[in-house]
Amino acid sequence: MKLLWLFSWCFFVIGGLFAQNSPKDSIDIFKEGAANSLVQQYEMLWQNSSHKEFWQEFQQKFASDFDPQKQYQLTFTQNIDTREIELFKTRNAQTTFLKNHPLSSQLSDSFKHYVENTIRWNYWYQLLNYAVSRSNADARNLKMASLPNVMIEALDPKKIANEEAFLSTSYRDFLMVFVTYFNSRQRGFEKYTNLGVAMNDKAAFAKKYLSGPLLPYYLCRLVRENCTNTPKDAVINTIDELKRLPQSERYVQLATEKCQETLNRKEEIAAATPTPTKESTLTPKKGEDIVFQTIDGKPFYLSDFKGKVVYVDFWASWCGPCRKEFPYSKALHEKLTEKQQKKVVFLYISIDQNSGAWKQALQALELPGEHGHVNINLNAQLLRKYAIDSIPRYMIIDKKGNVVLPNAPRPSFPDTLSEILKLVD
């Protein structure tokens, strides 16, 4: 038997597996997971008053250069040439500040190296993250954005491992996008079609190029940032790899605690080649290639809702983030007037492999609206057609049957209702 996670036609994998603008982890993995000797080495940098004073001034002067939201915005408002030039200027300004600062002579060599690593690796992190973040945002493109070779020729994967730089947050952030980008380059920048394969590939790539304390840190962070939407078997494989590394006990604990819900999840199991069923052999409607089934097993198509505005919610019974949005979906439905409810359809499309799990979840959730399920044979086709890179995913269709918002806001977003209602009249 083979685990089939057909929802995982996802590019979310290619980036931060991995989105780099995702919410920051609730803990500092380095301080909580690294060996005591490394943490102490880091803490010793701040026992010198000159170090503290310099660092406070450095942070104040260059605050925007390290602000995640600010830098993320620049990623989408600058072309790559402008972005690289600005990052280069910023790096030079920071280096000059360190070199000419009145306290420079009072700074220890180890602290200067720490600042230099912060400056250097923030530059490389932001540059690689330009490609990663922009690719994450464009699910329609089946290839990851690549950077001009001249910009990254100084980055040799064989020379990336740097334990001294490991003390710097910039370097640790860089490791995540380094593996994402160079692993992608190794496979011709093709986006992944399976989250489990993506995690396994990234772990294997990291094992090849990261060593010492760097590897367990990377694997722990990889798992923590992505276990919610990644197949259980891939999460287990990566944690098992982590367990085999020296001085990894604390990292293993951090990964396990974060991913307990995934590790406890009961996977849906199916044969590698599913047996055709009645619903999988239904003849598609002319002009449409995907047929959905109601909870009673009756076929329907998206075109059946022409004349109404359709808010589509792609979900699965095992998807925690999907379920968290359902109370907001119910609230949206309740805000509609009786007249508006006749013109708007809330359509929930499940990509559960097992229709029984879908039906059981529906009974518990009691969601108002229309419901459909996609059988195994059409699941991957559906996700490819609508470029669904992760779930939950939302889509708005106008009264003519046109997909006007292929990546619509979530029910919990404040502008969702207005996006729906402006298409009603």
Q: Tens digit of pLDDT for each residue in 36-62?
A: 999 999 999 999 999 999 999 999 999
Domain limits of the chain?
Answer: 2-263, 279-421
Task: Quote the pLDDT of residue 351.
Answer: 84
Task: Quote the pLDDT of residue 377.
Answer: 57
Residue 2: phi and psi, rounded to 5, are -130, 135
Task: Quote the pLDDT of residue 279.
Answer: 40
Task: Quote the pLDDT of residue 19.
Answer: 39
Closest CA to 368 of 389, 354, 348: 348
Closest CA to 176 of 158, 196, 203, 145: 203
Q: 338 forms bridges with which residues in the sheet?
A: none
Higher pLDDT, 59 or 286: 59
pTM: 0.64
Give the CA-trace dihedral at 372, 375, 380, 381, to 10 degrees.
-70
Tokens of 88: 């280069």
Q: Tens digit of pLDDT for each residue in 390-409?
A: 788 899 999 998 999 988 99
Calculate mean pLDDT across residues 346-356: 86
Task: Quote the pLDDT of residue 16.
Answer: 35
Higher pLDDT, 138 or 162: 162
How far is residue 57 from each of residues 62, 63, 94, 325, 329, measured CA to CA in Å? 9, 10, 11, 43, 47
Q: Tens digit of pLDDT for each residue in 246-276?
A: 999 999 999 999 999 888 876 543 333 344 4
Fold category of 279-421 in CATH: Glutaredoxin (3.40.30)
Tokens of 333: 């439905």
Q: Given pLDDT bands bounded at 50, 70 and 90, which one contains residue 129?
A: very high
Res 320 pLDDT > 90: no
